[in-house]
Structure 1
Amino acid sequence: MSLNRLAFTATVHCLSGCATGEMLGMVIGTALAWSNVQTIVLAVILAFLFGYAFTMVPLVRAGLAFGAVLKLALAADTVSVPIMEIVDNAIMLIIPGAMDAGLDSFLFWGSPRSRS
């Protein structure tokens, strides 16, 4: 696999992982009726965990050593995930009612949090 393709694949996986973690955190926090702060904290933690994990998969499959993969994922995602999370959560706070929307609401699923 070419280096450019590998980088593209890792980036797509990072974005997918971040979005997956973000959505899972929002769904869990909303379902448990947690406060906005608790829900956001959970979503951010899960975004990091899933982002790192999803980034590492194609690199490990490409045959890179786990230690090198971990260093690459930490270096790349520690910058990109916070930027995505800051933008996503800022938009969520700007959209009236988005943070208070229930799981059965279009606003919950149609707002940026469902597309991180």
Structure 2
Amino acid sequence: MTLKLYMAQRITALIMAPLVLMHIAVMIYAIQGGLSAAEILGRTQGSILWFLFYGTFVVAVSIHAAIGLRTVLSEWAGLCGTGLNAAAWTILALLLILGMQAVYGVTAT
């Protein structure tokens, strides 16, 4: 189980790395271009590509963070077994729900 979690965290890190770089590049472009929030939303709303980009980002970050926080809870809080797994799944679910709501808010028409 630990090896699978380790590999999942490393794979999500590989997925997140180019997404973070692209997100930063887009933010720099938007700031230097002087785009307002309304103009940014005008470009992202209704776009399946932005939905897929940020949706993938949210899924990768949620999995990555839940695994990392599971490790922290195990080492620092002494959680183990079912309690540890329940906490990790809860964190994953909350991050996915909140993140996808944000993605929907930015990309929905």
Under a length normalisation based on structure 1, what TM-score does the superposition of the two structures give?
0.45
State which structure, 1 or 2, has the greater radius of gyration over its C-alpha atoms: 2
> Whose helix proportion is higher, 1 or 2?
2
Q: TM-score, normalised by structure 2?
A: 0.48
